[in-house]
Amino acid sequence: MTSRRNTIQKDLVRNTVYEMRRHVTANEVYEFIKEAYPTIGKGTVYRNLDILVEEGNLRKVEVPDGPNRFDLTLKNHYHVRCVNCGEISDVDMDEILGLLEKIHDTHGTDFLGYDILFKGICPKCQKKIKDGQIY
């Protein structure tokens, strides 16, 4: 890895995640920037998101069966995904301590950390279900 340059595109990506203040997907960032800066490439957005994560400016929230999300909050916290619409939100909960010490036998694996992903139904989708719009 050699030295990193500052570019307009990188600033745009960082500022967009900052401005949107939620768990945005790479594509949402791309679409948002394209409004003001139509020539930006999708690859550039993906590359810069990864760089910003590597530099510790953003956190990547890896989501199975759906696009990954990026957010600003740097302290460790957990997420919940709406099983209906896929929206990701922060969970208001203290960090669980000592989880790795609860492992009985590591079977030789070197444990580094963990992610917890809660499943739930967000308020908007609860309303949709009640109104018979879905299910």
Partner DNA sequence: GTCTTTGCAAAACGTTTGCACGTGG
Partner DNA sequence: CCACGTGCAAACGTTTTGCAAAGAC
Binding-site residue numbers are 82, 85, 122, 125
User: Helix 8-20 to helix 26-36 angle, to the nearest 10 degrees?
Assistant: 110
**CA–CA separation, 56 vs 68, rounded Å?**
17
* Three-state DSSP state, 17: helix
Choose, by CB under 7 A, the member of 35, 39, 113, 114 that binds DNA: 39
Q: Which residues are annotated as a binding site for Zn(2+)?
A: 82, 85, 122, 125
Does residue 107 interact with a second copy by CB under 8 A? yes
Choose, by CB under 8 A, the member of 38, 102, 132, 135 that binds a second copy: 102
Of the candidates 15, 51, 47, 48, which has an alpha carbon nearest to the alpha carbon of residue 33?
A: 15
Task: Note the residues at the interface with a second copy (CB under 8 A).
Answer: 62-65, 68, 80, 82-83, 89, 91-94, 96, 99-100, 102-123, 126
